[in-house]
Amino acid sequence: NFQLQDQDGRPRCKADFRGQWVLLYFGFTHCPDVCPEELGKLSQAVELLEREPGLPPLQPLFITVDPERDDAAAMGRYLRDFHPRLLGLTGTPEEVRAASSAYRVYASAGPRDEDGDYIVDHTVLIYLLGPDGLFLDYYGRSKSAQDIARSVRRHMDTY
């Protein structure tokens, strides 16, 4: 389970998504390339599935691994560039660590440069959660949006 806040400041927990299919990604808004690529791919997979009549809705989620910089306002600004229903979640460092740990996500902030900027090394996976909230599958960087959409559709068909 997790206790976090969305980009509008509303408290959110895992139970809020029960009954929904979820594609979940952990990353950070200052990520120069990998996170935007993965969130773009996640967004495209959701769009592909939305075009198929009869499929249940799929909720895209993004949980930060950098709560120091990623407050609700930063998440809201960042997520405008992706799927309109992509929900961003943040919280205290302890809350974010607990959520990351629950999904076995590795995250470690690197050294700060002269401007105080830093990169966060982290697990790069998109997770699929079923309507019961349980983990069903994961997708690494080598999977395309089409691969993910096909896999999610198969899981939906056999659930």
pLDDT 10s digits, 111-139: 999 988 999 999 999 999 999 999 999 99
Binding-site residue ranges for Cu cation: 31, 35, 122
81, 73, 88: which is closest to 27 by C-alpha?
88
pLDDT of amino acid 144? 98
Residue 74 pLDDT more than 90?
yes
Residue 118 has a CB neighbour count (10 Å cut-off) of 16
Q: Give me the number of domains the chain comprises.
A: 1
pTM of the model: 0.94
CATH assignment of the domain containing 146: 3.40.30.10
Q: DSSP of 129-154, one letter per residue?
A: E-TTS-EEEEE-TT--HHHHHHHHHH
pLDDT of amino acid 1? 83
Range of the domain at 60: 3-158
Residue 31 has a CB neighbour count (10 Å cut-off) of 20
Binding-site residue ranges: 31, 35, 122
